[in-house]
Structure 1
């Protein structure tokens, strides 16, 4: 299904761009690159016991094509990678990563956006990296007074990182495709229609495949200069496929409806407050879990500077289970994000503390409704014009409330890296990361240390993207 969705996305956009692609005002770029990385891991299969270390060499050529104009834009990147294992030769794999994002302005106020991300890999711990690298960047700066290109981000699409545990080095495929139509009809008034399709397929018979269809719609209305109202809703059809010889309790297919309503009040140019209400209804086939979730919250955002802000919110959720004990709890959102340049313009960072609930579907393990809390800190520091380092530190607690027996995971993630820009063509980076999963179920425990070296080379002959 993901393959036809990608094909449909490409076909639709080609139809939109092709008739005018030869007109003046379009800028084309071809960006070739080559990356060679070596990595050591002390737990190659992320198992609790009988851990095995390995050295992995990954050679990844990549090619990116961009075309952008006043009304259209497209960016297509493909990166095949050969992963070679020093000890476990049976795990040698050809990886594939394909990213497609595009936009087309039908009118001054109506925009159509497309997105597709395809990944085939055997690496069980790529999700954190993928989430950082798949935020879409603009296909070109908008001119003064012009609306920026309406590119999508994973957060806008409602995508969440997969926090469940994947073991082994069997290859798997993920694909997410989306399209969205947005229209503005006055100052502060807008609406959107969207559709998202995703799939996860595993070569391992011990894992469960999944597929999602998700149409959505929403509207924002500016009641007056200080008060705005936003409403959105969606439907999700989730289907799952598992081998009953290896999985005793497969996930039931389900239908899910969700809706939310938010009222936002600006009290000053720097401070605004909100009241939010959302509701979820999940109806499973067979003997699966059926429930309704009610959630209300209040909070506010204070703009500290043009590039930094602080958001604080508190709320309460109640899960009404049809066959199980009801669940309830508090939600907290404390997020500090800055792009300001501290210490002579060389340090940027972010810090967040969050608690709440989520639904763990369409990933490695389909564990259903869970409550969580945790904290994350990210820092990046430019020591010189050519040398910089970055680091992150994360703690997260997930309680999978509808599992029997109930599962509680504590995750500890930390990493640090140094990058040296040798020249405009060459760069070298060193990294170290640690991951520990401490669960109340011993078989779900896991720990891993990784050390990596990455050498990247820009293959453009003039040390810049090829333009024509």
Structure 2
């Protein structure tokens, strides 16, 4: 099994040209390194991701978007094929009230491989958010499209997937909140191999000094693979510190 490290600095800027029209520009650079004590590790790679989205507001409650995203992967060795991914997307968001909102998107992607045949498929997402009490919010949704799995116990590479998820968030006090969530996901790689993943999460968040959030979380994952020896159960505890500040100009 490879040890690995991925570094991905990114940035995103939103420009509103007027009250109804805006642009979102994004860029991400990825550098991934792999090693192991015995044997040969998987190929290191670098990658770029760039995106542009046009936003249009139909009044205060409806926003649509039309976008394009580009991703590439350049592997150092010869065992993994370089590729590029082109994806177009349409998005729709609507706020029906202060307590109910909807977000959905639909797109199409092409994986342009250097040698082998290209892969194509649809990408989609749906999310419904409902505030059921003053301090409790429920979100249900699903998504599908393409993904990458290079840092798992087994290197899977480029995969297609679909998933469904649900989350409950509760504000315990002004600086303290908690969330409980679960998801079900199915993946398929380029050889036709399939696997299913069930996941559950619990997280406690504490806000302090205006710009900081400390989070303590637990995650349970269980994978059921076509290959029985690849099944596993994973228990993970995470401590995360986040700093953010909204800048307007």
Instruction: Answer yes or no: same fold by TM over 0.5.
Output: yes
User: Structure 1 residue 356: deviation in Å?
Assistant: 1.2
Greater relative CO (CA pairs within 8 A, separation 6+): 1
The answer to whether structure 1 residue 220 and structure 2 residue 14 are counterparts is yes
Q: Pick the aligned partner of 1:236 from 30, 45, 60.
A: 30
Partner residue, 2:53: 262
Structure 1 residues 305 and 212, CA gap change in structure 2 (3 angstroms)? same
Q: Pick the aligned partner of 2:82 from 274, 290, 311.
A: 290
> Matches of 2:220 and 2:30 in 1, distance apart?
35
User: Structure 1 residue 278: deviation in Å?
Assistant: 0.3
The answer to whether structure 1 residue 399 and structure 2 residue 188 are counterparts is yes
Partner residue, 1:359: 148
User: Structure 1 residue 415: deviation in Å?
Assistant: 7.6
Calculate the TM-score normalised by the size of structure 2. Answer: 0.74
Q: Which runs of 5+ in 2 are unaligned?
A: 172-177, 203-218, 236-249
Q: Pick the aligned partner of 2:196 from 410, 433, 437.
A: 410
Superposed, 1:133-144 pairs within 5 Å as none
> Matches of 1:312 and 1:276 in 2, distance apart?
14
User: Structure 1 residue 346: deviation in Å?
Assistant: 6.8
Which structure has greater helix proportion? 1
Structure 1 residues 318 and 442, CA gap change in structure 2 (3 angstroms)? same
Partner residue, 1:327: 119
The answer to whether structure 1 residue 210 and structure 2 residue 4 are counterparts is yes
Structure 1 residues 413 and 269, CA gap change in structure 2 (3 angstroms)? same
3-state SS of paired residue (1:443): helix
User: Structure 1 residue 352: deviation in Å?
Assistant: 1.1
> Matches of 1:280 and 1:410 in 2, distance apart?
26
Partner residue, 1:281: 72
Contact 2:99 2:132 (C-alpha < 8 Å) held by counterparts:
no
Q: Which runs of 5+ in 1 are unaligned?
A: 1-206, 383-388, 417-432, 450-468
Partner residue, 1:371: 160
Structure 1 residues 411 and 363, CA gap change in structure 2 (3 angstroms)? closer
> Matches of 1:279 and 1:258 in 2, distance apart?
6
Task: Write the deviation string for residues 430-459 of structure 1: whole angstroms up to 9, x where unpaired.
Answer: xxx97542211121123589xxxxxxxxxx
The answer to whether structure 1 residue 442 and structure 2 residue 228 are counterparts is yes
- How many matched pairs? 215
> Matches of 2:5 and 2:182 in 1, distance apart?
32
User: Structure 1 residue 237: deviation in Å?
Assistant: 2.0
> Matches of 2:71 and 2:87 in 1, distance apart?
9
Structure 1 residues 358 and 272, CA gap change in structure 2 (3 angstroms)? same
User: Structure 1 residue 347: deviation in Å?
Assistant: 4.8
> Matches of 2:82 and 2:129 in 1, distance apart?
37
User: Structure 1 residue 323: deviation in Å?
Assistant: 2.4
Task: Write the deviation string for residues 133-170 of structure 1: whole angstroms up to 9, x where unpaired.
Answer: xxxxxxxxxxxxxxxxxxxxxxxxxxxxxxxxxxxxxx
> Matches of 1:363 and 1:448 in 2, distance apart?
11
User: Structure 1 residue 363: deviation in Å?
Assistant: 4.8
